């Protein structure tokens, strides 16, 4: 997934992206696909320098501390990434400089004057501003900047970019984001500045090869992280295997950085003669109380606090189920607690506990996962249907399907009344509880990419037939 600026600690919106990426990676590993899941931190931005100055800290120390907060969040949310790249490292610097030199034919120098949004780290046109402010960062001051910089010939790739997006050579999901990228390209692409003076960058960032007075524009160096982490500079094994020879390269990004990934990055890769990503999955934003997350509004939610209060898998569930996978969604503690109680404590947790309690109490022999009484084709958890939904990134739809099965099992128990069958028909009792245990086993398999700890706990309880609360009530309805 995209590497975040580390000018502040991660908020709940970033937690959504890494949970989505993790669900994708875990799903593919479970399918037996050779999967490499890369994350990291964008440490070279001017935003980081300014945030460090504001905090009265040395930039390197400030960046290190905030990057660690993102690494800690990964551990807290049980994220299964294979590597984590820090773009202030020498390995990244050298590889980004090699990439610059390979793109040399499309790079030139000129003096430029423009309006700069530090929040976006990019120059803006007048028509991109609302009342003189950037719509993404209305609180940040737009700066008028004039300096001599290097530029990348983005305009030379206009037709090629239109073609690769129109024909889904780089497939953008959802369709609305594909149309947005195409609309931006068709308005006419202009060359963009890919360096800053060392003075304005406060000496922070990747030095431009053979020009020590210039530092690479953060987006030019940051986008290369996807290949520099794999060993692009030395043409390493991982780079060959997962970038050059791999036809399933996926970027998971937020809608605010679509242009960089769907326009700038493919053009840069074409310039360097390298393969393009195959898919870009674009998620929306999380709002809090209907408003965009913002420090000034005071609605920043710390995901680590959410996990410490409700648990890892409850947090993952809320983010993947309650936030539409390709749209915006709201986070509120009130809604979280409603969902926790109805879906997790009274839903999945209660179903598992009541079923295994009856198995134990009535001394019924069941074999979850072994003795098949339900056919896959008729099941809501039909593997093909679930796979199709996950592969089109509809995580909320998959989880809704799983919860339909949980509700079905509860109805099935209530209709068949095992407590009465225990007195009248032990054969039917065994069959009813076997069917519910079979469904529970299927549910645990289907939950593995989304709620890995819960899936493992369920499997263990179904093996030992010993019930324990999965989601203890931590508060009252």
DSSP 213-249: EEEE-HHHHHHTHHHHTTTTTTT-HHHIIIIIS-S--
Q: What are the mean pLDDT values of the chain's consecutive 10-residue runs (477 residues total)?
A: 92 96 98 98 89 93 96 98 97 98 98 81 80 77 85 98 98 98 97 92 93 94 98 98 98 96 98 98 93 81 96 98 96 95 97 98 92 67 90 97 95 97 97 94 96 98 96 73
3-state secondary structure at position 273: coil
pLDDT of res. 458: 98
**Interior/surface letters 327-342, b for 16+ CB within 10 angstroms, e for the rest:** eebebeeeebbebbbe
pLDDT of res. 147: 86
What's the CA gap between 418 and 428, in Å, rounded?
Answer: 9
- Please give the backbone phi and psi of residue 416, each rounded to the nearest 5 degrees, phi first: -90, -15
What's the CA gap between 209 and 471, in Å, rounded?
Answer: 55
3-state secondary structure at position 280: strand
Task: Give the end-to-end CA distance of the chain in Å, rounded to a whole number.
Answer: 36
pLDDT of res. 357: 98
Tokens of 194: 């890919």
**What's the full length of the chain, in residues?**
477
pLDDT of res. 148: 93
pLDDT of res. 476: 62
- Degrees, nearest 5: CA angle 55-60-64: 90
């Amino acid at each position: 997934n995209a590497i975040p600026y580390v000018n502040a600690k991660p908020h709940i919106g970033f937690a959504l992206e890494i949970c989505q990426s993790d669900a994708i990676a875990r799903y593919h590993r479970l399918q037996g696909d050779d999967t490499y899941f890369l994350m990291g931190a964008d440490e070279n931005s001017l935003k980081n320098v300014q945030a460090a100055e504001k905090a009265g800290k040395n930039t390197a120390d400030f960046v290190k501390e905030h990057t660690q907060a993102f690494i800690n969040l990964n551990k807290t949310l049980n994220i299964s990434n294979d590597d984590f790249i820090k773009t202030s490292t020498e390995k990244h610097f050298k590889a980004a400089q090699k990439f610059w030199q390979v793109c040399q034919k499309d790079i030139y120098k000129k003096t430029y004057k423009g309006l700069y949004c530090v929040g976006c780290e990019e120059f803006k046109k007048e028509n991109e501003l609302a009342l003189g402010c950037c719509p993404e960062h209305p609180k940040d001051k737009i700066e008028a900047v004039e300096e001599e910089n290097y530029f990348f010939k983005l305009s030379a790739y206009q037709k090629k970019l239109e073609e690769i997006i129109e024909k889904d050579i780089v497939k953008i999901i959802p369709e609305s984001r594909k149309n947005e990228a195409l609309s931006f390209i068709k308005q006419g692409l202009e060359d963009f500045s890919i360096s800053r003076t060392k003075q304005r960058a406060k000496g922070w960032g990747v030095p431009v090869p053979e020009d020590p007075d210039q530092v690479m524009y953060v987006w030019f160096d940051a986008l290369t992280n996807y290949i520099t982490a794999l060993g692009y500079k030395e043409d390493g094994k991982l780079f060959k295997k997962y970038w050059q020879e791999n036809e399933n390269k996926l970027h998971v990004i937020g809608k605010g950085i679509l242009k960089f990934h769907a326009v700038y990055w493919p053009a840069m890769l074409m310039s360097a003669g390298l393969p393009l990503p195959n898919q870009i999955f674009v998620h929306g934003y999380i709002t809090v109380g209907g408003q965009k997350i913002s420090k000034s509004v005071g609605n920043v939610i710390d995901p680590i606090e959410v996990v410490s209060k409700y648990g890892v898998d409850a947090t993952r569930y809320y983010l993947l189920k309650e936030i539409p996978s390709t749209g915006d969604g709201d986070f509120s503690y009130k809604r979280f607690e409603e969902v926790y109680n109805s879906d997790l404590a009274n839903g999945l947790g209660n179903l598992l506990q009541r079923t295994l309690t009856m198995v134990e109490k009535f001394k019924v022999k069941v074999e979850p996962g072994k003795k098949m009484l339900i056919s896959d084709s008729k099941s809501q958890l039909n593997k093909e249907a679930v796979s199709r939904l996950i592969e089109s990134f509809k995580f909320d739809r998959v989880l809704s399907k799983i919860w339909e099965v949980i509700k079905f099992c509860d109805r099935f128990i209530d209709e068949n009344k095992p407590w009465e069958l225990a007195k009248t028909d032990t054969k039917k009792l065994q069959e009813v509880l076997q069917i519910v245990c079979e469904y529970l086993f299927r549910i645990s398999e289907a939950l593995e990419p989304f709620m890995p700890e819960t899936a493992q706990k369920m499997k263990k309880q179904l093996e030992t037939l010993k019930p324990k609360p999965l989601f203890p009530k931590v508060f009252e309805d």
